[in-house]
Amino acid sequence: MIDLANPAEALAGLAAKLPALLIAVTAHEVAHAVVADRLGDPTARLAGRITANPLPHLDPLGAIAFVVAGFGWARPVPVTAANFKRPALDMALVAGAGPAANFIVAFIALLVLVPARRALGADGGGDLLAHVLLLVFQFNLALGIFNLIPLPPLDGGHFLTVVLRGGAGLATLEQYGSIVLLLLVVTGAVRYIIGPVFDALTHVYVSLLRMIF
């Protein structure tokens, strides 16, 4: 959370969080766009969403929520399911690409953090770089997990189209999913979903790092 009682510290914290946010959002949305394009739907590519420029991917409210509360959302990549050969399955693959990209970037951030900290040290800017890389790790991991919550309109909701195959249960989720998600966010209950998974994946990542280093 941002400490408004100390504006200078809050601005410094925001400056450190901003690169992490931009990296997480860009990786997530570009992955959606690239996989959709590879599976036969050029909609996102034609809309200019296969780009490393983070601005086309940002949703202002989602960005503010992510910086302030630690979770949020980006501007959805446009996808035309009718262009896919296997609409339900391909939509699920496109949906899964975003979180998968976040998990990969999160691990890369940790992978770079260890040797960078050793090489630079605290006096050489190692502490600042380590802090930014740690934020990149945290933001990507949190964004990936949040989007896997199995509720429309999140990425996790698209996996249900394969499991439920258009049944009544899916129609109900599509109707009330956004309301349930909003309640989870407003009440803070979403943290009880993200928190345990975040801790478990962090443990896995740290174990892998120990095997490498």
Contact between 145 and 198 under an 8 Å Cβ cutoff? The reply is yes
Structure tokens that stand for 74 in this block: 């980006």
Structure tokens that stand for 212 in this block: 């490498």
> b/e for 122-153, b at 16 or more Cβ within 10 A?
eeeebeebbebbebbbbbbbbbbbbbbbebbe
Structure tokens that stand for 93 in this block: 């693959």
Question: Known catalytic residues?
Answer: 29
Q: Return phi, psi of residue 51, to 5°.
A: -150, 145
> b/e for 184-195, b at 16 or more Cβ within 10 A?
bbeeeebbeebe
Structure tokens that stand for 9 in this block: 């510290």
Q: Count Cβ atoms below 10 Å from residue 169 Cβ, excluding itself.
A: 12
